[in-house]
């Protein structure tokens, strides 16, 4: 039973990587370590809806109070906008929590955005809105 569950879990990760690759302008599997999930909480510095992929930049305070800049790669801007993610929907200075996968280079504070959670609980995914009218 444990072996079967382990096999199923591995297949899930493979599926995730394959899906990401299929929807990307570049191979996400080549750039990110799907075995290294990362969650950071910080303040949005900039959101860039642009090609080849959109980016979210945020300042994150570590345990010592030191601020580090993190960046997360998200989906293509056209896909995000058509999923209801309008420009300016996430403004500079707002507090967010971003969950994703760390870049393969462990020295970089860079990740692939899987989920962005606003302070009011609103959740956005890699390709935009997960809630609201567009999600119905």
Partner 1 sequence: MKPRLIGLLLVAAFTIALAWFAPSVRTQTRPGAQAESPSAPAEPKPQAEAGGPAPRMADGHPDLSGVWWGGSDIGAARGRGARGGGRGGARGGTPPPTFMSLYKPEAAAKAKTLGDKDDPTLRCVPTAFGTLNVSLWDVGAVGQIVATPKMIVMLTETYHGFRLIPTDGRPHRDDQPPAYRGDSVGRWDGDVFVVDTKNFTDNTWMSAEGRVSQHSDQLHIVERYRRVDANTLEIEATVEDPEVLTGPWTAPKQSLVLAPFDRILSLNCSGIETQALMDAAAKQTGK
Instruction: Tell me which residues touch partner 1 (CB under 8 A).
Output: 1, 4-5, 7-9, 11-13, 15-16, 19-27, 30-32, 48-53, 55, 71, 73, 75-84, 86, 103-106, 108, 110, 114-115, 124-130, 132-136
Question: Could you count the other beta carbons within 10 Å of the beta carbon of residue 26?
Answer: 11
β-bridge pairing 55-61 and 128-129: unpaired
Comparison of 65 and 121: residue with beta carbon closer to partner 1: 121
Question: Could you count the other beta carbons within 10 Å of the beta carbon of residue 63?
Answer: 5
Got the DSSP string for 60-76? EE-TTS-EEEEEEE---
Shortest distance, CB of residue 117 to partner 1, whole angstroms? 12
Shortest distance, CB of residue 35 to partner 1, whole angstroms? 13
Shortest distance, CB of residue 10 to partner 1, whole angstroms? 9
The residues facing 72 across adjacent strands are 56, 111
Comparison of 37 and 64: residue with beta carbon closer to partner 1: 37
Comparison of 42 and 128: residue with beta carbon closer to partner 1: 128
Q: What is the DSSP letter of 130?
A: S
Q: Is 9 left (phi over 0), alpha (psi -120 to 50) or beta?
A: alpha
Shortest distance, CB of residue 110 to partner 1, whole angstroms? 6
Comparison of 13 and 94: residue with beta carbon closer to partner 1: 13
């Amino acid at each position: 039973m444990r072996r079967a569950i382990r096999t199923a879990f591995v297949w899930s990760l493979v599926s995730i990587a394959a899906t990401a690759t299929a929807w990307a302008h570049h191979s996400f599997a080549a750039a990110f370590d799907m075995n290294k999930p990362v969650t950071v909480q910080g303040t949005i510095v900039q959101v860039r809806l642009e090609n080849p992929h959109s980016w979210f930049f945020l300042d994150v305070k570590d345990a010592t109070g030191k601020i580090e800049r993190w960046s997360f790669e998200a989906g293509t801007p056209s896909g995000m906008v058509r999923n209801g993610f309008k420009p300016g929907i996430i403004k500079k200075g707002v507090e967010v929590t971003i969950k994703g996968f760390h870049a393969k280079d462990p020295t970089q504070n860079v990740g692939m955005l899987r989920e962005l959670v606003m302070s009011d609980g609103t959740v956005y995914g890699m390709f935009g809105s997960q809630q609201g009218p567009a999600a119905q």
